[in-house]
Amino acid sequence: MSDSTTVDPQVAYDLITKNLQEVLNPQIIKNVLEVEKRHLKLYWGTAPTGRPHCGYFVAMTKLADFLRAGCEVTVLLADLHAFLDNMKAPLEVVNYRAKYYECSIKAILRSINVPIEKLKFVVGSSYQQGGDYTLDIFKLSNIVSQNDAKRAGADVVKQVSNPLLSGLIYPLMQALDEEYLGVDAQFGGVDQRKIFVLAEENLEKIGYKKRAHLMNPMVPGLGQGGKMSASDPNSKIDLLEEPKQVKKKINSAFCAPGNVEENGLLSFVEFVVRPIQELKHGDGYFSFHIDRPEKFGGPLTFESFDALKQAFKEEQLAPPDLKTGVADAINELLAPIREEYANNKEYQEANEKGYPVAVPEKTKKAKKPKNKGSRYPGGANANANAKVAEVTEELKKTTV
């Protein structure tokens, strides 16, 4: 076994479960670490629907913890799930979006100094389109009721009137992925909980083993009540957002003097900035600088999150100054991502082809579609513009 087995089982377990909201079947994890004495294998799946945003940093800090604990970590780029969820990504572009997500995830991890050599990326459609996998979906569809499949997907699959059958297949496939990726555990946001439970309740019935499930709390957004919402573009910040745009979004965030309860900015510091600082500088480290103008008291640095929160609560720190601090912090996080994008052709191509801008009919030039390298021959971008215009590109929610 390799170097990372030197991680003590208890230390590994604590690292694996650090900052999580919930763990289902922790004994499965303990058994692997303490009895079988091997690395835990786990995966995190992401459906390349819209665009990854700042909230992704949080899931990335957990991937970093898993890697440090010696786990074998797989990232599933769940392209077919992005298609099955109300065609949030049309088949014509989904492979580019999967690439875009992969590039974004790698860029984030590099930016926070996480070694990524050991991270494995798997594209869902590479194994989900035939053979035993299909038969297993049929088997599951014969033991899971429509009602249970529907309820399992309620927090994940976009809820629409007259829902499509695809939304019922989605949770079955997510359950099956655990088997096909050969893992001991699946990690995701707590919004995945109902799918995780469906997996726990049904895999054994088709002859596979039950897995453990690890859940992150949901990352708050910047909107009122700290929500991220698809209808409010100001509630989340794209990874490639320009510094000026970041400032603008942060300035328009809801942030009332002294209100620390409903404060997406403070939550951002707590859930995003703090874990990254701990990852970079060690547990307990916190340093938050605010470049406050002299006339309002001059620059400030807080050495603990509680001190920052308290100062805001007591109105010693005013909303515009907190906003300055948060916007600066976000721009600092995003600078290396933008830099990587500027230097990475593959990342740029994935962006351009994965998110084609819908061209208005009359200005559209008749051009032969180029689709070399597409996994979906016969149509990269041919119909994509029209389709992309039809589907919402916004992430419905934040899954980390």
Ligand X SMILES: N[C@@H](Cc1ccc(O)cc1)C(=O)O
Binding site for ligand X (CB under 6 A): 45-47, 76, 78, 81, 156, 174, 177, 192, 399
Shortest separation between residue 271's beta carbon and ligand X, angstroms: 18
At CA 64, angle to CA 63 and CA 70, rounded to 5?
90
Shortest Å distance, C-beta 348 to ligand X: 24
DSSP element (H, E) containing 189: strand 185-189
3-class secondary-structure state, position 144: coil
Identity of the residue, 46 or 331, whose beta carbon is nearer to ligand X in the bound complex: 46
In the complex with ligand X, the residue whose CB is nearer, 46 or 235, is 46
CB of 173 to ligand X, least distance (A): 6
- Judged by beta carbon, residue 106 or residue 274, the one nearer ligand X is 106
Query: Least separation, in Å, of the C-beta of 319 and ligand X?
Result: 33
Q: Minimum distance between the CB of residue 42 and ligand X, rounded to whole angstroms? A: 11
Task: With beta carbons less than 8 A apart as the criterion, state whether 51 and 89 touch.
Answer: no
Q: How many CB atoms lie within 10 A of CB 364?
A: 11
Nearer to ligand X (CB atom), residue 46 or residue 371? 46
Look at strands 72-77 and 185-189 and give their pairing: unpaired
Within 10 angstroms of residue 117's Cβ, the number of other Cβ atoms is 5
Q: Cβ-closest residue to ligand X?
A: 45
What is the C-alpha separation between 330 and 53, in angstroms, rounded?
A: 11
d(CA 75, CA 42): 9
The residue (of 59 and 317) whose beta carbon lies closer to ligand X is 59
Least Cβ distance, residue 112 to ligand X (angstroms): 21
Exposure string over 246-285, b if 16+ CB within 10 A, otherwise e: bbebbeebbbeeeeeebbbbbbbbbbbbbbbbbbeeeeee
| Other CB atoms within 10 A of residue 12 CB | 26
Minimum CB–partner distance for residue 395 and ligand X (Å): 9
CB nearer to ligand X: give 174 or 385: 174
Nearer to ligand X, 156 or 330 (CB): 156
- Give the three-class secondary structure for 271: helix
Amino acid found at 290: I
